[in-house]
Amino acid sequence: MIKVKMFGVVRLGSGVKEFECSLSEAPTVSACFDVLNIKSAPGSDKFTFGDSQVFVNHTRTTKKNFALKDGDEVWLMSPAAGG
């Protein structure tokens, strides 16, 4: 199973905090967004790999087709700043 957690604008916009899916549903990080967009409520914001920062097991990846493996934890989040 893959555990996917949402943070920042991705979480507030989709209304989804986290979900689990099988490796066949989300073989790549990009596919995690497809699952997210199905799970998010109708009318909520949709997100893609292109507009989000992605971390796999605490390491940032910028590769859309980064292959996941069973047990991976994926974080989808938005850039942030403050002070």
Partner 1 sequence: MSKYDGYMGKVLFIDLSKKTFGEFPWSDEDRKRTLGGKIMAADILYHHIHPGMTAWDEDNWLVISTGPLTGCGVPSSSRFNISTISPLTGVLTSSNSGGDFGLMLKRCGYDAAIISGKASSPTRIHITEDDVQFLDATDLWGLECTPAQEALPKEFAKLVIGPAGENKVLYSAVLSGERCSGRGGVGAVFGDKMLKAVTAKGFKHPSVYDKGELVKLCRKWTNKMRNHAISGRQLPKLGTAGLVSPMEARGLLATKNFSDGHFEDFDMVSGETLSETKLLRNSGCTTCVMQCTRRCEVDGKDVKGPELEILGLMGPNILNNDLQKIIEWNYEIDEMGMDAISTAGTIAFAMELNEKGLYDSGLQFGKNDNISQMISDIAHRKGAGDELANGSRKMAEKFGGMDFAIQSKGMELSAYEPRRAVGQGLGYATSNRGGCHLNAGYLVFIEGLGLDIDNLTPNGKGALCVMFQNLMEAISAAGVCLFTSYPIFPSYVFDHPNAPITKVVTWAMPHLGPIIKLMNQHGNVLQLYIPLIPHTKAIELATGMRMKLGTYLTIGERGWNTERVANMVLGQKPGADTLPKKLTDTCQDPSDERTKVPLDEMLKSFYANRQWVNGAPTAKVLKRLKIDIPDVDAYPYA
Footprint of partner 1 (CB under 8 A): 7-9, 11-12, 17, 49-55, 58, 60, 62, 64, 75, 77-83
CB of 60 to partner 1, least distance (A): 6
Least CB distance from residue 59 to partner 1, whole Å? Answer: 9
Q: How many CB atoms lie within 10 A of CB 16?
A: 22
State the Cα–Cα distance between residues 70 and 49, nearest whole angstrom. 20
Residue 34 token pair:
């497809």
The least CB distance from residue 1 to partner 1, in Å, is: 19
Closest CB to partner 1 among residues 24, 83: 83
Count H helices and E strands in the chain, helices first. 2, 5
